[in-house]
Structure 1
Amino acid sequence: MDNTNKKRREISQIILFSGIFLTSVPSFAEEHGLRKLNDSELADVQGQALMSLSYLAPTDSANKMQGQGIGFYKLGMEAELELNANIKKLQLGCGGVNGANGCDIDIDNLSLTGISDTRDGRVGSDAKLTNPFIEFAIKNPNSAATRQVLGLRLSADKVLGMLTLGDENSSKPNGINSLSGYMKTLATTGTATTTPRSMKINDTNMSIEGRIKLLGSLVSPGFTTNDYNLALQSANADLFIDSATISGTRMSSANLTGTANIGNINFGGNISANLKVFLLGALDLGINASGNISGLTANLNISENLGFIHKLPLNNPFSLSMQSQSIFWPGASVAANKGWWLAIEDGIDIGKITPSNSIDISNDILKQVVPKINTYLNNNPPSCTFGACLGLGLDIGNINLSGSSPLNFPIKDLQLATQSFAPNCYGNLKFC
């Protein structure tokens, strides 16, 4: 038998076998309790596909790009994916449309795992991506001649896990070098301490003025001094940080705002006072003064390098997109700028804003405090005998500044105690 006849015979056998199989299916189904469904019965059957495709037309009311002729095609997976990943260097959009220097996204040592604060917990857990999808932004979607792809987005309806950035929480920023994207931090609280320091005329270039009660309060002469040296002790401060929106292209820092209630600041030191006593003229007295300042509040303006943000617990919609122009993706809080864009929707809890180190009180802050002290000492003069004023020590007591206007307290680059994290590695490696 030649090869041609042999192949024909094999094909005939396959066709015959297939026919026997197909004709046997109904009897097999009937034997096992299965039966055919008509169209009406099929309409009552519900199921869920693994993949789904949806389209948002340019004129749809849910389309935030109405009037620009842009539609959105979304290919989604109706499933949950689990992922544990380390990325040594994530660089996207370097050079290009947003400038030759720098990258849209530049992050060192990025890890995505399940939520855990231990090495074994992170290595042994996965982040969960619910309903991941790919989405395209198409201009003129109904015209084959002018149709144009403007953007691509990789996203998920929700990501549950822990995202860490950098290799350690230290006094040196690391992790995020530049970021293009959007995220919103939730309001939080914290506690800080101020660094002890001295206060002298050279620090403020301002006189301390007030009145002192003498002779059992019979007289209250005024005084002025440009010669003082007061030691300000450390104090605690309760911090209240506002919710903040961090959004922009190639950002390296974020601005946080809030308020602070500053605890008692004890002070002590020397004041060379020139008292203007009625009928006696001016008296130069060296006073060893002590007391405390209470009731200070402050408006905080924190400029925070993003390299101090290391730990982001996620339970949010999450996306990474690339677009040739500003695109307001469906479900997004803000429009994504052109280039690469990382968006974390909903609020993120970054933990308590508790600085690892004490906060310095600058000369500019002291210049705001001195006028408040002067007003208080004029309205509430401390009592002093001649002996006390001549060297035995003047207890100024409590300078209560409650009700005075808040200080303007700028802060820069805080290392945050609550941003420490466990690496996604076994052993002693910081990153693997």
Structure 2
Amino acid sequence: MGYSPLYKKQAILSSLLLFVSVCSSVHAIDLIELNDRELSNVNGQALMSLGYIAPNDSVNKMQGQGVGFYKLGIEAELELNANIKKLQLGCGGVNGAGGCDIDIDNLSLSGVADTREGRVSSSAKLTNPFLEFAIKNPNAASTREIVGLRLSAEKALGMLTTGTENSVTPNGINSLSGYMKIKDTTGTGYTAGRNMTYADTKQSIDGNVKTSFLFIPITLGFKSTDYNLALDSAKADIFINGTTISGRRLSSAKLDGYANINQLNFGGQLGASLNITGGLLTLQKQVTGNITGLKANITIEENLGFIHKIPLDNPFSLSLQSQNVWWPGAAETAQKGWWMAFEDTIDIGSVVPSKKIDITNDVLKQVVGPISTYITNNPVACELFDCIGGSGLAVGNVNLPNTSVNFPLKDLQLATQDFAPNCYGSLKFC
């Protein structure tokens, strides 16, 4: 539909009259002239910002691959409190059927708080949130292609929790594709008491006892395949190395470190063949003693469903890419599919097993040899008639400062992963 020349002239005239009217109104406000010093004190900031990193830019970690990055950011702080009953992304898709790139039950995001009231009345703070595109061949209209999309913020401050409770059953994170760096941490655990027998280790306990006869020193050797020693519970100081969790559709993480096992008391029956001049003498002894200096090389296969509480004070992002993309500022390449990344080190709190740690037969087998070596090199002292005829034998302290045993652990419920629901009342999730 067209317009007549007369109508166009009237429209132009109306616009001019409006412009003159606005100018007159502005003049009536009496604008104030500012000098250079006064102008320098005036600050302004755009609500939105645009950025571009070219494929060959020095800060582009994908140089030579023809990928550039366009970033649209909001210069503001966004506050968010949210509960998501089921977060599933990338189920099937490019990474194959039968699983999801990200599968998390009962995800909650709130401000940093340890109480219900504190969580529901607070919000996570996202500073300068942005949307970023990874464009392949950005300078060629005919082959230009979007290969990635990222939602992120320059900084996220809040509390992210998963699952409904910290229990002996894993819940929350079912699978995770992404990057997470766990901080070095320490903790305290306790071994569970148990008995150690020859049937458990299939190894004899060998050693020496030293005594004297008519003031003549005598060393007698013994060998026992008949023992039943009760090992008491012992405290263990745990040191876990920082580790990086990275990969697609992960359901568990491997942690490693070591533990210093405090004094481990033992007592019980030991039947031994005692070497004496002219033959062997079989004895039954009630022995007592303790083991000190023992270390454990710890490996933990930890189901991600036991990690429930993640304090956020770092850049955080969620992205989708059709190929591996190394986003600007990211610590590692985001792999194909959906990807959740926590860029800075995360403190998951002390590693404190919520129940005592069982000592397996495999661990016991590693201890028998060092015990035998120590008692052989450091004979147990006793009176001759006590050694031969007495019912008790005080072994004393068996110090093993250079002995480390491999101590594999699996799926520890962590005492410090308790969290308050992001709900009023008594609901576990809302």
Would you call these one fold, judging by a TM-score over 0.5? yes
CA positional deviation for 1:19 = 4.1
1:1-40 paired onto structure 2 within 5 Å: 19-34=16-31
Q: For residue 155 of structure 2, what is the aligned residue in structure 1?
A: 158
Q: Distance in 2 between matches of 1:331 and 1:116?
A: 29
Q: 1:377 — aligned with what?
A: 375
Q: Deviations over 1:252-284 (max 9, x none)?
A: 00011111110011000111110111x232111
Alpha-carbon distance between aligned partners in 2 of 1:16 and 1:170, rounded to the nearest angstrom: 76
Q: Contact 2:293/2:403 (CA < 8 Å) preserved in 1?
A: no
2:273, 2:278 → 1: CA distance?
Answer: 12
- 3-state SS, counterpart of residue 347 of structure 1: coil
In the alignment, which residue of structure 1 is the partner of 2:102?
A: 105
Post-superposition shift, 1:25?
2.9
Q: CA deviation at 1:31?
A: 3.1
For residues 323 and 125 of structure 1, the distance between their equivalents in structure 2, rounded to whole angstroms, comes to: 33
Q: Find the aligned partners of 1:270 and 1:384 in 2 and give their Cα distance.
A: 17
Q: Deviations over 1:116-154 (max 9, x none)?
A: 000010000000001111111111000000111111111
Partner Cα distance (2:199, 2:176) in 1? 41
What is the root-mean-square deviation of aligned Cα atoms in Å? Answer: 2.3
Q: What TM-score does the superposition give when structure 1 sets the normalisation length?
A: 0.93
What percentage of residue pairs aligned between the two structures are identical? 63
Supply the distance in 2 between the matched residues of 1:367 and 1:377 (Cα, whole angstroms).
16
Note the C-alpha offset of 1:200.
0.4
Instruction: Report the 3-state secondary structure (helix = DSSP H, G, I; strand = E; otherwise coil) of the residue aligned with 2:375.
Output: helix
The answer for the alignment partner of 1:256 in structure 2 is 255
Match of 2:168 among 168, 171, 181: 171
Tell me the alpha carbon deviations over residues 16-61 of structure 1, each in whole angstroms, 9 at most, x when there is no partner.
Answer: 7654442133333233232699xxx999975321111111000000
What does 1:31-430 correspond to in 2, within 5 Å? 31-34=28-31, 47-215=44-212, 218-277=217-276, 279-385=277-383, 386-387=385-386, 389-402=388-401, 404-430=402-428
The alignment's TM-score, normalised by the length of structure 2, stands at 0.93
Deviation at 1:384, TM superposition (A): 2.2
Distance 2:42 2:266 in 1: 80
Give unpaired runs (5+ residues) of structure 2. Answer: none
- Tell me the SS of whatever aligns to 1:122: helix
**Matched residue SS, 1:355:** coil
Partner letter of residue 215 of structure 1? S
Whether contact under 8 Å (1:355, 1:415) holds in the other structure is yes
Deviation at 1:389, TM superposition (A): 4.7
- Note if contact 2:284-2:391 (Cα within 8 Å) is conserved in structure 1: no
Matched residues in 1 for 2:143 and 2:39: separation? 40
Q: Check whether the contact 1:266–1:293 (CA below 8 A) recurs between aligned residues.
A: yes
Contact 1:296 / 1:406 at 8 angstroms: preserved in 2? yes
Q: Which structure 1 residue ranges, 5 or more long, are not aligned?
A: none
Distance 1:220 1:96 in 2: 73
Moved more, 385-394 or 110-119: 385-394
Q: Using the alignment, how far apart are the partners of 2:77 and 2:387 within structure 1?
A: 77
Cα distance in 1 between the residues matched to 2:312 and 2:89: 22
Give how far 1:72 is off. Answer: 0.6
- Count of matched residue pairs: 421
Q: Do the aligned partners of 1:286 and 1:390 also contact (CA within 8 Å) in 2?
A: no
* Partner AA of 1:247 in structure 2: S
Structure 1 residue 70 displacement after superposition: 0.5
